Amino acid sequence: MTGTLMEGFLRFEHEPYHNFQDPATAQAQEKAFRSVREQYVGRTFPMIIAGREATGEKMHDVHNPADTREVVWRFPNATHAQREEAIAAAKAAFEDWRFSDPFQRATIFKRAAELLRARRFEFNAVMTLENGKNWSEADGEVAESVDHFEVFAREAMRWAQGKAVYPMPDEHVTTVYEPLGVVACINPWNFPSAIPLGMALGAIAAGNTVIWKPASDTPLSSYLMVELLFQAGLPRGVIQFVTGDHDVLGDDLVDHKDIRMIAFTGSKNIGCRIYERASKVHPGQRWLKRVIAEMGGKDPMVICADADLDEAAAGIVAAAFGYAGQKCSACSRVIAEDSVYDALLEKVVERAKRLKVGLPEDNADLGPVIHERAARNILRYIEGGKKTAKLVLGGDQPDMGDRRGGYVNPTIFSEVEPNDPLFQEEIFGPVLAFSRARDWRHAIELANDSEYGLTASFYSRDPHKITEARKLMHFGNLYINRKCTGALSGTHAFGGYGMSGTNAKVGGPDYLFWFMQTKTIAQRY
């Protein structure tokens, strides 16, 4: 960004990750775990409605995935009346916030970034205790949240300038962008900081107000982020933080006549349901609702015969088994040319064997999936795969002693056919399918053989093959000679094709447009 628009802003740089191999850094993270356990474990936290703390008639427990016998904290379940109060409060707050100075919004985001930098170890620890990420995975997400604050500060200023139009001889014509209204942000458990924050900041930076509904498995990561925004100066009515069950915060929230837009990240089934329900105009509703949705993936990594197999194997293992495969961008399919298939498979299996399953709080390579129910679903896929493909690694659960949790060993199947559920369906766990391709063009065909189209990787040294892959691979995020996870806010605009969602591209230069409407103003001289 150049010119006077960004005067006063330093050049944007991505927040660096912590190096936990450094003893002092590791000690700081361990200290944060002790502090979080002392300050937060066992507490009951409130909702935030109309700027005030609110409790509920019922509470729900949040369990530690590393040992689900441990209840780490509790949150209330909103009532129907509290949902209505929250929407009314967001609607009222919109009348002021819509006219707020974009520089005010940017200043709040910049201040929030500084506050979060000072508390990264704390936020890492909270996330680990409620969704099972190890230190590095949690730290990467919190660093991305810092980046979001910095990126959206700049985007708020950029979009406030409007766009130039072709002039008229007797009129002054401008194109400006105005906010929509109340945006319901419905959030996932696997990225409880960065994903909710990205959607909410898109709304707020554009001048909208937000109903922030966190996943019931991971509410504290969201609650602390909302409170941090308030501490940075965001008016408390701009976000309504509401927790609870789908019977109150599901269909009825989506259907509400005063909800102008829904921003959703989660499963394909729920995303499609939201998209369908939002298309209906309810009595008293004066607009067509807008929906953005990110709904998962079945992400391939294509390995050509001329690829660097060691680099490819390292990328595959990191992308497939980081956070136990519980990323919408995780590699779940490897499609390799026949001539290098066996050698690549051997390298990947050897690397995956070195992964240690253990406690996220101890920074194990691989922790549990979110809960035992998710593990049972993953194991069903594994049992089916044993009948249709060749199991070459894992396929079972580790012995974790008396701990209860959804632990699944890193699992790799080879000789997976394109019609196999292992190849086509999102499993959302540490399960990787290897498939053979006749040649690199066949590999691209197989990669595209999916209803999803979120992320993909293509490994080759050949410029011609790379050029063809750039044109032909049907994915919202395509990575060449690198893993398919690890998108950086402001650089790798993130969002997919097909049933992966609406391609809204969070963290990208067009994202705020989704949260705005365009006004043309022509004034005759």
The residues assigned a catalytic role are 294
Long-range contacts (CB closer than 8 Å, 24 or more residues apart) made by 351-357 = 351/313, 351/314, 351/317, 352/317, 352/320, 352/321, 352/393, 352/394, 352/410, 352/412, 352/432, 353/393, 355/317, 355/321, 355/410, 357/398, 357/400, 357/407, 357/409, 357/410
Neighbours of 306 (CB within 10 A): 15
Please give the C-alpha separations between residue 70 and each of 123, 171, 173, in angstroms, as whole numbers.
19, 67, 62
Read out DSSP for 198-265?
Answer: HHHHHHHHTT-EEEEE--TTSHHHHHHHHHHHHHTT--TTSEEE----HHHHSHHHHH-TTEEEEEEE
Q: Dihedral of CA 59/370/424/263: which sign?
A: positive
Of 218, 214, 217, 216, the closest CA to residue 199 belongs to 214
179-188 burial code (b ≥16 CB/10 A, e <16): bbbbbbbbbb
Q: What is the DSSP letter of 325?
A: G
Please, where are the H alpha helices in 410-462? 421-424, 440-448
Would strands 455-459 and 516-524 be described as parallel, antiparallel, or unpaired?
Answer: unpaired
**Burial of residue 500 (number of CB atoms within 10 Å: 0-12, 13-18, 19+):** buried
Cβ neighbours of residue 281 closer than 8 Å, sequence gap 6 or more:
288
Give me the phi and psi of 479, to 5 degrees please.
Answer: -115, 130
Angle at alpha carbon of residue 149, lines to 147 and 154, rounded to 5°: 95
